[in-house]
Structure 1
Amino acid sequence: MAFLLRAIGFTESIPGFPYTPCSGSSTTTADTPTITWTMRQGECDESKRSVTIFSVNLADMEPRKRELVRHAMKRAKSLLLPGILRCYGAAEHRDTVYLATEPCEPLSKMKCGQMGSPLATSGDDDDEGEAFNDIVALGLKAVGSAVSALHKNKLIHGNVGRDSVFVISTGEWRLFGLELVSGFDDVGSSYLSYCSLLPAYRRPPETQHTNYESGGKTCAIDSWGLACLIYEVLGVNDQASGKLSQSCSTEDLRSCRTLPRTLQSGFSGLCAVNPKMRHDVDRFLRTSDFIISSDYVQSMQMLDDYSLKDAAERERFMEHLANVVHTFPRDACKHLVLQKLRASFTFGILPGVVDTVVKIAARMPSPEEYATHVSPVIVALFRSKERMVRLRILQHAAELLPQMPPAVVDGEVWSEYASGFESPIAAIREHSARALVPIAPLLTEKRIVNDVPKYIAQLQQDSEGPIRTNATIALCLIADTIPAEYRSKLFAQRFGRMLKDPFAPSRTAALRSFHTTLKHFTAQDIAELVIPGVSPLSMDKVAEVRAVALDVIHAAVSRLDANHREISSSTANEGNVIPPAGVVNNNTNGAGNGVKGSNAALDTQGWGSSGSSSVIQLESTTKGGMENSMPAASKASPFPQKVWGSQSSPSVREDDEESWGEEIQMKPHKLRLHSTATRNGTGAVVPDSLTSDDHPEDKRTLKIRKKGIGASRLS
């Protein structure tokens, strides 16, 4: 490490400069007419804060440039004004000057489409062109504000231009290049001594005269510099910008007509030949349509002044921001807008901010970007105690949650989200049930097995019928995320419970859920649990419930029929060896594929309404019967008994005679064919009527059980 530090001009430690370059970081050269800086990324030794380290070697530099470097270091340490690149520390050691600033990149190294963000922009696309103009407008406002702050402190910058502007990590522009900063009363001795180092077009016309007096409108020097910055950024292309110092003249600057129309008037005022007629920077910021008509610039200003606004102004602004944020530069939304929104949460979160976050999140296709920039904001919104904010974030859960990292959802979002199940507000409970559908795939298996059934059961006891209905449907929609070994038992309990719900849509939802999840039940479960539980609803007083119940019964019986044929086929092939109870048809290509209607689908496209609250619309694709095939499940039921009000029968053995009643003589009737009969078209005899005769010689009797569910047996 010591060798690396020495190779780039650092010793092992620099007194009074606790900053170290990052190993492997590349270097960038910031060429200016006055000083050539070497830039590299570094970090603070104590706080590990990221910085950019500027360095310049004084050994081979002419004396007057050495003075400029030392002057720049002094000004960087002392000037803490808005819009000025913030300097964290500076030192001179062994003929080298070091400056540590906030992370930045030189504006002069970026292409026109990257000034303020890595946005790849071309002038051919109107939307991207407007986004680029917004970036420049905000940058000019930042630089102009820095110059105005200097003027209020009786200082001029004297070196405003593209090579003295740097772009920080949020995409905002910052003014640097402080080597020519001087006081109003010191312009003649300081600025004029070194301004000859600047290109000719960068020097105001009056300063090129030998009889220039500094007692006039001194701030006009920076007005000319701001006009040069506009010309270098918007007036020429990237290829020509590198040759401006050799090819550009004052007349070229003043005659530029390629600027946006809203900037022409303000630009002409900044570069007037007569310094007394030249507009000052503050006037340009207040009157330029290029800046004041930009929604992006005004929104960023409002976010900066958010703490000074009252509640009504904040609410109006958040609603306006949601309507215009889609027009902002994408990377500006990522780096700047979201950051300022999070800062505004300190003063309270308004419901309107959720819509803004949703629109920004929709423009983040990269999972890495989403996790870095959007996820922290979503977590902060879930932590809000404002009920309207909670409701809004739940309403947009399907748009915001799927792209979040599962670890963040399970570890940080779930605990806040789950509190909505116990909210006193019915709308929050309802949308918490709906939000379970997008959030479930991001949860761990432990969370799904332990927590989700508990909250589903809680919602199924809610006083609001639509909430009970939506809880049932939500469980059906997340069926595939539940571990296979828990599905049949959980579904039987949760869906079976709702079959007796007094709210008709809730019973319908339970039936459709059974229909949809029938593939997760074994044949034994269907015979012992599903059919006995569903059958009573075939006599329901509501026609829709009866129809759906019959559909489920038909699908269940088809499953049992397919299972019967599969068992019969396997026993024939295996020497009539009867398989044990619970054998399931696992052959998805066999007779089980003919099961009708067991693959009922859910319509999740919209939300219907019932009463005062809305209910998920759950519709089967089958009509009046079953049309789709359902492969038989392969896993036996984990529980052998029925769960819908069934009672255990007393233990009865086959040889237990006490459980049988007295023998009753049963006289079976014998069918007799009348003498009149006809033949059908196939030649078979078809009787006209059937009668029965008594046959006392048939003495077979039936014994009937006294108790239990026992069947009769012949003797």
Structure 2
Amino acid sequence: MNLFKSVVASAISSGIPNFPYTFGDRQDIEGGIWVLQNGQKRDDGSNCSIFSFDINSNKGLLPLARNAVKKLRTLRHPGVIKVLDTVETETFIYIATERVVPLRWHIKRKSMSIETSKWGLFGVAQTIKFINDEASSVHGALRVGSIYTGESGEWKVAGFEVLSNMKDDDAIIYNYGSLVPDSGRYTPPELAKSGWNEIKRHPLTAVDAYNFGTLIFEVFNGDFMGSDQAGQTKGIPPSMHSSYRRLVNSNPKARLSVGNFLEQGRRNGGFFDTPLIKLTESIDSLGMKTEEEREQFLNDLGQLSDDFPEDYFKLKILPELIKSVEFGGGGPKVFEVVMKISKKLSDEEFEAKVTPAVVRLFSSPDRAIRVSLLDNLPLMIDRLSQKTVNDKIFPQMVTGFTDAAPIVREQTVKSVLTIIEKLTDRTINGELLKYLAKTSNDEQPGIRTNTTICLGKISKNLSVGTRSKVLIAAFTRSLRDPFVHARNAALMALAATSESFGEEDCANRILPSLCPCLIDKEKLVRDQASKTMDIYLHRVRKFSSSMADTALPPPATADATANTPRMSTPQANEVASWAGWAISSFTNKVSTAAGEIQPASNGTSVPAARPNSAPTANDVRRPAAGTASASASALHRQAVSSPPAASARTSTSSNTNDYFQDSMTGEDDMDAWGPLQDDSFFDAPSEAPTKVASSVAPSAANPFGDDGEPDFAGWLAAQAGKKPGSKPLPKGLAKSTSNTNRPASVGRAATTGSVSGIAAKKTAGTVSKPKPVTAKKIDTTPAATDDDDGWGEGW
């Protein structure tokens, strides 16, 4: 009391109230003694309402204002408006309360449904029953003007100007009851006839029962204009008619008390037996309910429509549901209701009420909760900040990629599409791809398929340096998946992400992988493969049409013939097959060779012409001492063993000499081919064993003397010996000899399958004359064709 006096004294001395609240917009109250304004608490900025009473203007009503302050401070009930602070100055009385809105506003706007109105009346009835029964008091001024709605939408009772305890002999209601504004409209008939002292001779509940009846009429019809409207049932729900009439009975002793009215309504099938009211009664004990009771509660909650009070769900139901999910074992079904209610929250409200709970729930080990979170993630992702998702939710969510339960892994993969826009590039191209690589090899085919779909849809979020490498590897591997839908998903993903790859990747890596799908056992895959193949072929063809006709340098001049390549570009008449134009180009070069063998540098002459008789096979195969063994190269054997094909014929053997003479000028140009053993184009059949050519001697059964491989040099010698006047073998096709002055590049060590090496420099030495040998005759079918040069049609 002393504190209150000191506050008042301080307010009077300063001229303004010592009130830790700021005043906001004014909300007029019709027919009341108070002026209602919005306010805020200075300490934390929380919302409140401020009731102001101007003492100078309403001195006659000052006892009513002071009685209201006293009763509001002492009477505590959930249905009574909550008082935060009060202060009285010389000129004003201020009451700071929770933020409220006059109920009259909602009634004028007709913004409440019948079920919401029943729910509000149910709360008011509980409060009046408490005032009458437990507090032994009479409200005395119950009407629409004394009811407010809080931020939660609940109806709150105020208007305690004449609230009196009937045990007090000098209760204020006896003397000031008639001073309440508009009391003439709401005064019960017996009091209007005999005065307020008549209360003592009638039941304590009689006055408030009559006023509660007039309140019901106003809620469903608007303003109550007088006692002649009492008992009218227009607009009132039919289930409430009988009890309502008993409330406004003209005989106070026959009136139904508010408590009895409440009991009748709560009976099974009664007017207060509604899902919303049941929810209100059971929400506080949700965490302590059994599984069956919780299931019934959720069923009742599911029956609620969208026209029920949103504020009550946001401020009362939602916090209780979140607590039930986190600590009370509410489970996924309760969380789904949380998400349904949170749709109506503003972003600020969601951030304050739901986001912290969602972050905590992602760390829960309960798989059912995790799946529910992932299922409902699309409903809340727009409300979650990027920092929250990337730093708090995703680190907890990744445990689902490796969870033992397939449903958790699958839902986690699906949720990537939802959160991808909230993740940083570092997280996407690092940790996320690492986990998707694991799920792409999952034992469950559905998870593998969904991973492929996921990669296709997030391709635009991958970095440029990572995109092509990761997607091609993932999709081409999925093309070989035994699960048909995984293969189909890979084809669809490739079709959707075709612009992510370069033309070289399309031609070299993707198209070859698509080809097997064209003959897949499943028509679904074949059809999609055909569509995808068309997309990539169109890209490659479009790109190739913009390429230059050739990448070869311009033709060399006559004095630069030493560096020209051995194989020319195929002509139009030489492209019947790849082998045809390759070999014909080779023979054309041979036919252009002309001239004679030049003497060695040491003065020793090289024979100008080969003898008509070819050397024996043994001489051809025997390597000279001090030199590498030589045999026919892979190119020679390939040419001999090839079937005859239509090609340009060589006219003279002198042209052949010119080809090889040109190729041997300067440094040995064989180095330009590179490692021929790696190129199957020029290799002999891969199954031929690798042997030194000189290790096998020729025989009658084996005329080539090298285990089936043709003796190219011997065969040429035999062909030259068939006809008189045949020219010597071209340089490079003669046998190798030891201790010669010929360039080292002429002698070549060779194996059956490939050319092993070529000398890089020419060395000087003595030339030893070849021993005369008898050529071995070989039947070169067809013999009917008489070729002057002996090459035949094989080239």
TM-score by length of 2: 0.64
> Shift in Å at residue 523 of structure 1?
0.4
Cα 1:197/1:256, change in 2 over 3 Å: farther
How far does the alpha carbon of each residue in 1:216-250 deviate from its partner, in whole angstroms, 9 at most, with x for none?
A: 310222112211221222123xxxx3xx5xxx221
> Shift in Å at residue 106 of structure 1?
1.6
Matches within 5 A, 1:430-469: 430-469=410-449
Matches within 5 A, 1:414-493: 414-493=394-473
> Shift in Å at residue 369 of structure 1?
7.4
Quote the residue 1:617 is aligned against: none
Structure 2: gaps spanning 5 or more residues? 1-10, 555-629, 661-669, 684-731, 733-795
Q: Does 1:59 align with 2:45?
A: no
> Shift in Å at residue 406 of structure 1?
4.6
Quote the residue 1:100 is aligned against: 96
Quote the residue 2:153 is aligned against: 171
Matches within 5 A, 1:54-133: 54-63=51-60, 65-113=61-109, 121=111, 132-133=113-114
Counterpart amino acid of residue 200 in structure 1: G
Q: In 2, distance between residues paired with 1:10 and 1:144?
A: 44
Contact 2:275 2:300 in 1 (8 A): no
- Identify which of 34, 37, 48 aligns with 1:36: 34
Quote the residue 1:234 is aligned against: 220
Contact 2:34 2:52 in 1 (8 A): no
Corresponding residue SS for 2:678: coil
Quote the residue 1:342 is aligned against: 322
TM-score by length of 1: 0.70
Cα 1:384/1:29, change in 2 over 3 Å: farther
Q: In 2, distance between residues paired with 1:695 and 1:187?
A: 145
> Shift in Å at residue 461 of structure 1?
3.2
> Shift in Å at residue 140 of structure 1?
0.9
Cα 1:327/1:202, change in 2 over 3 Å: closer
Quote the residue 2:122 is aligned against: 141
Quote the residue 2:710 is aligned against: none
Contact 2:29 2:35 in 1 (8 A): yes
How far does the alpha carbon of each residue in 1:642-685 deviate from its partner, in whole angstroms, 9 at most, with x for none?
A: xxxxxxxxxxxxxxxx9x9654263688867xxxxxxxxxxxxx
Corresponding residue SS for 1:179: coil
Cα 1:296/1:278, change in 2 over 3 Å: same
Corresponding residue SS for 2:330: coil
Counterpart amino acid of residue 86 in structure 2: A
> Shift in Å at residue 269 of structure 1?
2.0
> Shift in Å at residue 318 of structure 1?
1.6
> Shift in Å at residue 473 of structure 1?
1.2
Contact 1:704 1:712 in 2 (8 A): no
Quote the residue 1:27 is aligned against: 26
Q: In 2, distance between residues paired with 1:472 and 1:12?
A: 75
Quote the residue 1:356 is aligned against: 337
Corresponding residue SS for 1:39: strand
Counterpart amino acid of residue 21 in structure 2: T
Cα 1:355/1:524, change in 2 over 3 Å: same
How far does the alpha carbon of each residue in 1:373-406 deviate from its partner, in whole angstroms, 9 at most, with x for none?
A: 7766755654554322322332344455356555
Counterpart amino acid of residue 348 in structure 1: G
Q: In 2, distance between residues paired with 1:316 and 1:551?
A: 53
> Shift in Å at residue 493 of structure 1?
3.2
Counterpart amino acid of residue 81 in structure 1: H
Contact 1:171 1:332 in 2 (8 A): yes
Counterpart amino acid of residue 242 in structure 2: S
Corresponding residue SS for 2:427: helix
Q: Does 1:664 align with 2:663?
A: no
Quote the residue 1:515 is aligned against: 495
Quote the residue 1:559 is aligned against: 539
Quote the residue 2:179 is aligned against: 197
Quote the residue 2:211 is aligned against: 225
Identity %: 23
Contact 1:41 1:50 in 2 (8 A): yes
> Shift in Å at residue 60 of structure 1?
3.2
Quote the residue 1:157 is aligned against: 139
Q: In 1, distance between residues paired with 2:42 and 2:59?
A: 32
> Shift in Å at residue 533 of structure 1?
4.1
> Shift in Å at residue 543 of structure 1?
6.1
Matches within 5 A, 1:377-392: 382=362, 384-392=364-372
Counterpart amino acid of residue 297 in structure 2: F
> Shift in Å at residue 563 of structure 1?
0.6
Contact 1:155 1:184 in 2 (8 A): yes
Cα 1:233/1:95, change in 2 over 3 Å: same
Q: Does 1:255 align with 2:232?
A: yes
Contact 2:52 2:93 in 1 (8 A): yes
Contact 1:395 1:431 in 2 (8 A): yes
How far does the alpha carbon of each residue in 1:171-215 deviate from its partner, in whole angstroms, 9 at most, with x for none?
A: 111111122111122377421211102422312222231472515
Cα 1:437/1:257, change in 2 over 3 Å: same
> Shift in Å at residue 456 of structure 1?
1.0
Q: In 2, distance between residues paired with 1:230 and 1:497?
A: 73
Contact 1:43 1:49 in 2 (8 A): yes
Q: In 1, distance between residues paired with 2:160 and 2:356?
A: 37
Quote the residue 2:678 is aligned against: 708
Cα 1:519/1:695, change in 2 over 3 Å: farther
Q: Does 1:297 align with 2:294?
A: no
- Identify which of 508, 521, 540 aligns with 1:528: 508
Corresponding residue SS for 2:304: helix
Structure 1: gaps spanning 5 or more residues? 1-7, 115-120, 122-130, 576-657, 673-690
Q: In 2, distance between residues paired with 1:153 and 1:694?
A: 128
How far does the alpha carbon of each residue in 1:281-313 deviate from its partner, in whole angstroms, 9 at most, with x for none?
A: 122223236742432222232223324422321
Quote the residue 1:623 is aligned against: none
Q: In 2, distance between residues paired with 1:343 and 1:9?
A: 47
> Shift in Å at residue 165 of structure 1?
1.0
Corresponding residue SS for 1:567: coil
Larger CA Rg, structure 1 vs 2? 2
Contact 1:83 1:173 in 2 (8 A): yes
Cα 1:223/1:44, change in 2 over 3 Å: farther
Q: In 1, distance between residues paired with 2:353 and 2:13?
A: 35
Q: In 1, distance between residues paired with 2:13 and 2:527?
A: 83
Q: Does 1:184 align with 2:166?
A: yes
Which is worse superposed, 82-91 or 207-216? Answer: 207-216
Cα 1:497/1:10, change in 2 over 3 Å: farther
Cα 1:171/1:453, change in 2 over 3 Å: same
How many residues get paired? 571
Quote the residue 2:568 is aligned against: none
Normalized per residue, the structure richer in strand is: 1
